[in-house]
């Protein structure tokens, strides 16, 4: 087996069971490992530490599979990991009661680079690392075998694959192509999901519990939902008896599907309307026009994929939250999110605090929000806690 040797002192993170080894931590590569091939990891003193998947292109040069020297990286290894991941979800909620759920959450489930979501009878997978790419066929067969489902679709078309030196890939893996739209029910609301063309694997499953919170807060309020996409928070607001909902979304296709979602739930279309365009520009225009709302929801796309982009992202978050505060009436609520891995929860709170100060409002955090329970976070991998949200009340 090829191997890598770490620089002195760089074994600390491995001993703490962090699954990533960056290129700068390597002193030597022994042998000529192929991308995705399993390599042994040694300290500078020659002590065996772990084994993981090698990537020649990524800054994350090795993603660790196991810290057990006796554990072989075989098809059986991956099948057992998937079984454990599915069992974890089933131990919290009867999976038969859910139309949509995340079954595998990458590093936090011991499967670096693998995402698997289920939408009714269709599995959707993302292969985001060379290690997962190398074992793709084995993983596909294991997913079908363990879940008992027949249809597996792939959505490996996200930016992180380019950082690995992998080309984007989408399409049917096993079974039959999914329907154009899959109808799922969540907390009493029906959503139409496009798993072939929609964001991520088709829907933002990580916001499930946060949509429920929005529904609980929406009664009697005028709601502004920014970056509305297909209407997840907008429909939750209507379901919670919001007085009105105004949605801002840049995509024609997303707005069209959002309107279908309203019709699928037989909601009052007179209480909701959409504006297509750039949220930053439209919020500034609303501010200048003196428009106000009782609740503003900010769920923008990722501003910082890496720590190197943090400064630019911070400016974007500061700007959008400042505008959000400016558009709130006294007694209003700002529900604001960041899904940028390069922005920590502490930094995000400081950014929002700075925006409130510049807006001249007295603001208090009444609740912190995160991804839902089926997107667990390994204690040894804090980067898994990527979704950060705040419910902020202004006087």
Q: Which residues are catalytic?
A: 339
Q: Measured between alpha carbons, how far is 241 from 351 in angstroms, rounded to an integer?
A: 31
β-pairing, 169-174 with 151-156? antiparallel
* Residues contacting 273, CB < 8 A, separation 6+: 245, 246, 247
- For 391, left (φ over 0), alpha (ψ -120 to 50), or beta? beta
Q: Measured between alpha carbons, how far is 3 from 170 in angstroms, rounded to an integer?
A: 32
Residues linked to residue 295 through DSSP beta bridges, in sequence order: 223, 333
In Å, what is the CA distance from 393 to each residue of 67, 111, 325? Answer: 45, 39, 10
Helices 310-326 & 279-289 angle (0-180, nearest 10): 30
Cβ count near 210 (within 10 Å): 25
Token pair belonging to 320: 């959008």
Token pair belonging to 206: 């990580």
């Amino acid at each position: 087996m090829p191997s890598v040797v770490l620089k002195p002192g760089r074994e600390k993170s491995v001993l703490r069971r962090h699954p990533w080894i960056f290129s700068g931590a390597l002193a030597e590569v022994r042998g000529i490992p192929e991308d995705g091939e399993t390599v042994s990891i040694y300290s500078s003193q020659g002590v065996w530490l772990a084994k993981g998947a090698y990537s020649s292109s990524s800054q994350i040069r090795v993603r660790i599979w196991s810290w057990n020297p006796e554990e072989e990286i075989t098809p059986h290894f991956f099948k057992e990991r998937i079984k454990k991941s599915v069992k974890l979800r089933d131990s919290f909620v009867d999976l038969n009661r859910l139309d949509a759920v995340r079954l595998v959450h990458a590093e936090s489930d011991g499967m670096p680079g693998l995402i698997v979501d289920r939408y009714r009878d269709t599995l959707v997978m993302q292969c985001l690392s060379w290690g997962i790419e190398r074992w793709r066929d084995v993983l596909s067969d294991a997913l079908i075998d363990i879940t008992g489902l027949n249809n597996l679709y792939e959505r490996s078309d996200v930016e992180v694959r380019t950082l690995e030196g992998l080309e984007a890939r989408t399409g049917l893996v096993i079974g039959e192509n999914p329907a154009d739209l899959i109808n799922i029910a969540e907390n009493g609301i029906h959503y139409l999901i496009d798993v072939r063309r929609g964001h991520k694997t088709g829907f933002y499953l990580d916001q499930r519990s946060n949509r429920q919170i929005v529904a609980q807060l929406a009664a009697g309020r005028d709601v502004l939902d920014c970056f509305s996409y297909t209407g997840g928070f907008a429909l939750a607001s209507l379901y919670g008896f919001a007085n009105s909902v105004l949605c801002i979304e840049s995509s024609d296709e997303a707005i069209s599907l959002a309107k279908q979602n309203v019709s699928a739930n037989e909601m009052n279309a007179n209480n909701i309307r959409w504006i297509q365009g750039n949220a930053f520009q439209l919020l500034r225009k609303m501010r200048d026009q003196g428009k106000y709302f009782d609740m503003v929801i900010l769920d923008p796309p990722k501003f910082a994929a890496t720590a190197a982009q943090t400064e630019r992202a911070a400016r974007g978050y500061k700007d959008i939250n400042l505008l959000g505060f400016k558009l709130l009436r006294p007694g209003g609520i700002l529900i604001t999110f960041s899904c940028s891995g390069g922005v920590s929860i502490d930094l995000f709170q400081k950014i929002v605090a700075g925006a409130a100060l510049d807006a001249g409002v007295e603001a208090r955090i009444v609740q912190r929000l995160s991804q839902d329970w089926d997107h667990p976070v390994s204690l040894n991998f804090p980067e898994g806690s990527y979704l950060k949200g705040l419910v902020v009340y202004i006087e």
